[in-house]
Structure 1
Amino acid sequence: MTTVLIIGAGDMGERVADGLAAGGRVRRLLLAGRSAVVDAAAATVASARDCLVEAIRLDASRQDEVAELLSRARPDLVVHCASLRGPWAMSGRSDPAARAIAAAGLGLRLPYQLPLVLSVLRAARDAGYQGPVANLSFPDVTGPVLARLGLAPTIGLGNAAMMQLRVRAALRAARPEQPAPLIRVLGHHAQVFDVMQARPPADPDQRCRVYLGEDGQRDDTLAYQAPPLAPGPRYNVVTAAAVLPVLEALLPGAAPLRHSTAAPAGLPGGYPVRIADGAVTLDLPPGLTEAEAIACNERMAHGDGVESIDEDGTVHLTAASRQAVAGIAPELAEPVAVTDLADRAALLDSVLA
C-alpha cells in the first residue's frame, strides 16, 4: 500500500493531496496539520477520490512528534507544505510595513519558511527515515540552508517546474499540431513572478534559461510568452500542476521522469533533473556545467534579497533588501542565523501586526 505523508494542510497541501489521490498511484494519504483545517481538507479529498485519507493533528515544530509519526507510519514519500506564515499572507495589504517587507524580497521572510521544514528534516534523521522528502517551502533558499546543515531534502517543488509549464503553454499556443520537445529550465524562485506575468527583464542575463530538445537549443523568450497571470493565490493552481509529476515520479515503481524543479539535493534555485528509481540527478543540457548552473542561480537569488549563505546556514541579505526595511525596522535585514529563527519570526510578527 503506497503511503504518502503530506505535512501542511493549507491550500497547497490540500491541492497536492487531491492531485495525488486523483492520480491513482497512492492508496493511502496521511494529511497532517495543527488545526481543524486538516480535518476538513482530509474529508474533502476522501469524499472526492478513491483513496484512503487520514487526518492527523500534528505540530510540525514539535520534532519529537514528527519523528514518532514517521516511525509509526513509515511513508513511502514525505511532502512538506507547511510554513509559519504563507507567502500570500500579505496579499491585499498596502500599509508601509507590508510594502517594505514585500520589497525586501522573500529572503527576509525566511524565518517563516525555514523552521518547520528544519524540524521535519531533523525528525526524519532522528527516526531513521530513509525515504524521499520533497519540500515546497521556499525550496530555492531553504534547500541550500538545509544542505549546509547536512539535512538537504531529496528535492524541492515548484518554481522552475512552474516556468517549465509556462514554456509548454507558449509552445502549445504557437504550434498546436506539434508535440512539445524536451524542455529544460534553469531558473530561481526570484524569476517566477516575471515569468508568470509574461514580463521579460530588459537585461537578458536576468531571464531564466530555457533549453529545447536533446541538443539544448536556447530560447529564453518562451518563458515569457504564455498569457500573463497577476500575482496571487491563483498561482497555487499552477504550482500544484507543476509539482505532481515530480511527486509521482518519486513513488515506488514509478516510470522515469525528466522535468525541471527546485533545489535537487539542496542546490540553490531550480534545475533540469532526471528522476528514476527514487534517485534524482541533474539533467543539464550540453555545454552547461553544474558549476555554471549553480553560479547562475546564486546570482538570481539576489532578486529574493539573498546575497550569500554561510557554511553554518546563516543567510546574508542584499543591500537592496536592507534598504527596503531601513525605515521601518533595519534589524530585520541583519544576517539570518538558524539559531535565531524564533526571535526573527517574532520580530516580523511585531512589525506586521
Structure 2
Amino acid sequence: MFNALIMNKDEDSSAAQAEIKQISEEDLPSGDVTVAVEYSTVNYKDGLCLSPKGGGLVRNYPHIPGIDYAGTVETSSDARYAPGDKVVLTGWRVGEAHWGGYAQKASAKADWLVPLPDGLSTQQAMAVGTAGFTAMLAVMALEDHGLTPGHGPVLVTGAAGGVGSVATAILAHLGYEVAAVTGRPETGDYLKSLGASTIVPREELNETTKRPLESETWAGCVDAVGGEMLARVLGQMKYGCSVAAVGLAGGAGLPATVIPFLLRGVNLLGIDSVMQPYDNRVRAWNRIATDLPMDKLEAMVQPATLSDLPKLGADILQGQVKGRVVVDVNA
C-alpha cells in the first residue's frame, strides 16, 4: 500500500474533494512501466486539476493529479527501461486524462518517459518540471530562429512565475541581457538574483496601443502572458526577431495586427510541451542539465508535501506562487 492524493466526488456533490488515501498497485491503471515516484511539482494545470470542477481537464473520478513526476523504475515490460533507472515524465496529458504523479507510485507508457540526464537529480528535475522544460523549449526555438547573445535585450513576461523564472535563469546563464516583466514589484530582487538585468513593470506593456509598430527594442521574447501584452510586444520586436509564446496568463485573445510580421519579419513561435516528440524532449533535458545553473534553480524552489497541494493549487491559480514548487511525495 502507498499514499496518493485522490480527487473524488460524492454521489450527491458536483464538486471534487482532495483526500490523501492509501491505495495498492492493483489500483493503478495499466502501463508498461511502474515508477516509484520521488518528487512531483505544481504547475498551473495542476491547480486546475486540484480545483473542485477539475478546471475542465479532469473527465473521470476518482483521479490522481500531478502532470509531472520523477523517480526510479520498479518494473518494466519495455526493453528501454530497467529497474533502477531514473526517469522523468512531463506532458502526454498525464495528471489530466491519466493518473499522475501525486502518489508514491505511478504507472506509465514507456513512450511517455525520458531518461534522467546525468548530473540531474530527481529533485532537481521537478524543480524544473513542465515549467522549466517549456522554458528550455522556448529558448531552443528562439536560438533555432537566430537568437544570439549581443543582439539586444531578451524580454521575459510573467518572469516571476515558473516558466519565466527558469527562462530568466537560462538566458542570463547563456550570456543574454534579460529584461524581466512582472506585476509584483516585490519580486524585483528575486529576478535580479536569477540574472535579470532590467525589471520592467507590467503596466508599461499591458495596455494596447493604436500604433502597430513601436521602437525596435527586443531581440527575442519568452511570453507567458499572451493577450494585450503579447500584442504590444510584437510591435516592439527588432527586425527578423522572434517571440516564443508559452502561456496565456493574460488571456487567450490577441488584439494585434499583421503589420509586425509583414514589415519587420517578426516570428511568433508556438511552444507546446505536452505532445513534444521524444528526440526534442531528450535534447531539451540534456540542455537543462548543462545550461540551467543549479544554484539559481535552488533559489526558485519552495518545498511541499502531498498535504500542501490543495492550498498550493488554489494559490497558483491566483498567481500567488513564486518560482517552483517541489513536492516530496514520500514526506
Q: Same fold (TM over 0.5)?
A: no
Q: TM bucket by the smaller chain?
A: under 0.3
- Structure with the larger helix share: 1
TM-score by length of 1: 0.25
Bigger RCO of structures 1 and 2 (CA < 8 A, at least 6 apart): 2
TM-score by length of 2: 0.26
- Structure with the larger strand share: 2
